[in-house]
Chain A
Amino acid sequence: MGASLNEIKTKIASTKKTSQITGAMQMVSAAKLQKAESHAKAFQIYAEKVRKITTDLVSSDKEPAKNPMMIKREVKKTGYLVITSDRGLVGGYNSNILKSVMNTIRKRHANESEYTILALGGTGADFFKARNVKVSYVLRGLSDQPTFEEVRAIVTEAVTEYQAEEFDELYVCYNHHVNSLVSDARMEKMLPISFEESGQQKPSLETFELEPDRETILNQLLPQYAESMIYGSIVDAKTAEHAAGMTAMRTATDNAHSVINDLTIQYNRARQASITQEITEIVAGASAL
């Protein structure tokens, strides 16, 4: 009985330590989440404005688009930019997105030459490598609040590959942050750029003076637009990652607390049992005299 008492005691101590660590990690994630949320909000304004200018410019266009980034090509190969986290301990965050990507790929594509993967985050890269899926670009070690500069490499890579006709459409797969408890896996078509939702509502009658000319501005604006959209989803995914990390760590801490409770009850019972036994032994010994 004594050994088991000690055993329970060490178990309680170690669980307590674990809960302290997960508690601290929860708080770290919560702080990062708050930062990421305000960052995402600031970026939202930018994305909205870039979108507005682009729609203004494109909707006043009479002729069909000639810019390579807007022309719909026959789809021979599809690119998927999959955003995952670099580290674990984020609950179902990674498995969620990877499962939905695998399902979509299985549904849409018959063989491997029809798609290519750009992986952002180590977990996704390792996942696809383990399944022998060809990954054409990997970016690891993104910081918690990625700056535009950091992300530019993968964004530019995606846009250049598209322009070089490496693939004919690009989907970005990421977890959209709804709130700190809920996020949902999203797959958004980024390229070719289309304005169907906003463009057809009200054909703008306004005409713009363009300097120097439409093509030059579009050449400058469309990459900027694509970059901002992709960067926006990366920021969104990062926010969701911090939220997932926070929730996972909170669950872990709660679980640790309930384990500690159970163990403490067990410990007290065992202690009582051993005391009762001792008394019984003493009484029995005394009456035997």
Chain B
Amino acid sequence: MSENVMTLQVITPAGMIYDHHANYITARTTNGEIGILPNMISTIAGLEIDELKVRRPDDETHVDYIAVNGGIIEIKDSLVTIVADSAERNRDIDVSRAERAKIRAEKALEVAKAEKKSDEINRAEVALHRALNRLNVSSHR
């Protein structure tokens, strides 16, 4: 059993968000979705703004979800490290704050589209994407 476990660490500038064992992790890299099993070949990849699904070894049905805002994933010796600007576990997400962020991003997107500023549109789209991602992850409770 012990060989079939890996450690996942999610680290942001605000400190370590998540540090637990896992059996199986799914993440979305810039190239598409990957599944990570213990003893996988060493890999470094860029991540999309998406959710991270972590299957825990203690119980088949025990699954954690983490919202990740981009960042880099490194897999080495069954230690999975994710370094991101920000990340939140589903139970830590403040839903009303995420809702507000979504509304704010939608408004900013409208304004940016009306003014046809491509930089602003991109920024607003990323913000909206982050808010939607957080809402999506927080729905797994």
Contact = CB atoms under 8 A, between A and B. Distances in A.
Interface stretch (B42-50, B107-115, B116-124, B128-136): B42-50
Interface stretch (A14-22, A82-90, A193-201, A206-214): A206-214
A52 B72 CA distance: 12
Given A45-B11, A53-B81, A221-B72, A208 B43 contact: yes
A254 to B, nearest CB: 36
Interface residues of B, number: 26
B13 A53 contact: no
B122 to A, nearest CB: 15
Nearest to B14: A42
A42 B15 contact: yes
B76 interface: yes
A224 B34 CA distance: 23
A175 interface: no
A143 interface: no
A46 B11 contact: yes
B44 A56 contact: yes
B31 A210 contact: no
A221 B9 CA distance: 18
Given A206-B42, A211-B46, A221-B72, A46 B12 contact: yes
Contact of B46 (A50, A207, A220): A220
Contacts of A221: 46, 72
Given A46-B11, A53-B72, A221-B72, A207 B83 contact: no
Interface string A43-61: 1011001101100110000
B118 to A, nearest CB: 17
A247 interface: no
Interface in B30-47: 30-31, 34, 41-46
B15 A210 contact: no
Nearest to A232: B13
A208 B77 CA distance: 11
Contact of A45 (B15, B43, B44): B15
A209 B43 contact: yes
B30 A212 contact: yes
A228 B42 contact: no
Contacts of B71: 224
B23 interface: no
Interface in A24-75: 42-43, 45-46, 49-50, 52-53, 56-57
A-B pairs with the 9 shortest C-beta distances? A42-B15, A211-B45, A209-B43, A148-B13, A208-B42, A53-B74, A208-B44, A211-B31, A49-B11
Interface of B: 9, 11-16, 29-31, 34, 41-46, 70-72, 74, 76, 81, 83, 85-86
Given A217-B72, A224-B71, 5 more contacts: A45-B15, A45-B16, A46-B13, A49-B11, A53-B72
